[in-house]
Amino acid sequence: MADDAVAEQERMRTFQAAALPHLDDVYTLARYLMRNTHDAEDAVQECFLRALRHFDSYRGPAMKPWLLAILRNVCNAEFARRGKEELPTDYATDETLAEEMPMWQEPQASPEKMIVQRQDSATIRRLVAELPEPFREAIVLREMNNLSYQEIAQVAGVPIGTVMSRLARARAMLRSAWNATENSIVRPGPAAAGTAP
């Protein structure tokens, strides 16, 4: 019995050392998939419970994508359980708030002058949150979780070609979203970024 207890403690320590460093990554994905803090926190907790239960069968290679794949399954199961019920979102949806924080400005008149302006991160979050699900997931796994295409393919359970088309599509949608944002800050003076020789 004593040996079992020691082995169990060792197992818990190994799990802690391997999994806890990725808590923020797991939470980030949960936050963007569930779109509100309450559901995100429940999903993260369930994810770590499951990961702990299945840790014995974990054979690598990398801990982060493994945890994120579990988190994704937890979220999808939750969506399925709730059916068509609309999930509450606590991203800023208030129109006036949204318009007070414009996205990047990208003048369309001249491609040579296309430049992306740094804007409020709350606005970017909102636009990412508004992307349809597979595209939102792809962009968050790539940009916020910093996964490779191969890892995203593993987490989402799709071929790498699908990952690539989803990412291209996600970025194109994001780009039009900020182009469409009215009341954007007008760039001060002409800028010469993005010109071809």
Q: What is the nearest approach in angstroms of another protein to the Cβ of residue 161?
A: 4
Using CB under 8 A as the binding rule, whether residue 186 contacts another protein is answered as no
Using CB under 8 A as the binding rule, whether residue 89 contacts another protein is answered as no
Using CB under 8 A as the binding rule, whether residue 183 contacts another protein is answered as no
Using CB under 8 A as the binding rule, whether residue 104 contacts another protein is answered as yes
Using CB under 8 A as the binding rule, whether residue 10 contacts another protein is answered as no
Three-state SS sequence of 104-163: CCCCCCCHHHCCCCCCCHHHHHHHHHCCCHHHHHHHHHHHHCCCCHHHHHHHHCCCHHHH
Q: What is the nearest approach in angstroms of another protein to the Cβ of residue 184?
A: 14
Going from the C-alpha of 40 to that of each of 35, 66, 155, 192, the distances in angstroms are 7, 18, 18, 42
Residue 8 has a CB neighbour count (10 Å cut-off) of 10
Figure out which of the listed residues 36, 92, 148, 187 binds another protein, where binding follows CB under 8 A.
148
Burial profile 174-187: b = 16 or more Cβ within 10 angstroms, e = fewer? bbebbeebeebeee
Using CB under 8 A as the binding rule, whether residue 138 contacts another protein is answered as no
Using CB under 8 A as the binding rule, whether residue 111 contacts another protein is answered as yes
Q: What is the nearest approach in angstroms of another protein to the Cβ of residue 49?
A: 5
What's the rounded Cα separation, in Å, for the pair 120 and 123? 6
Residue 113 backbone phi and psi in degrees, to 5: -95, 5
Residue among 16 and 183 whose Cβ is closer to another protein: 16
> Is residue 85 within 8 Å of 123, Cβ to Cβ?
no
Figure out which of the listed residues 10, 11, 90, 99 binds another protein, where binding follows CB under 8 A.
11
- 14-73: contacts with another protein (CB under 8 A): 15-28, 31, 37, 41, 44-46, 48-50, 52-53, 60-64, 72-73
Q: Tell me, by CB under 8 A, how many residues bind another protein.
A: 83
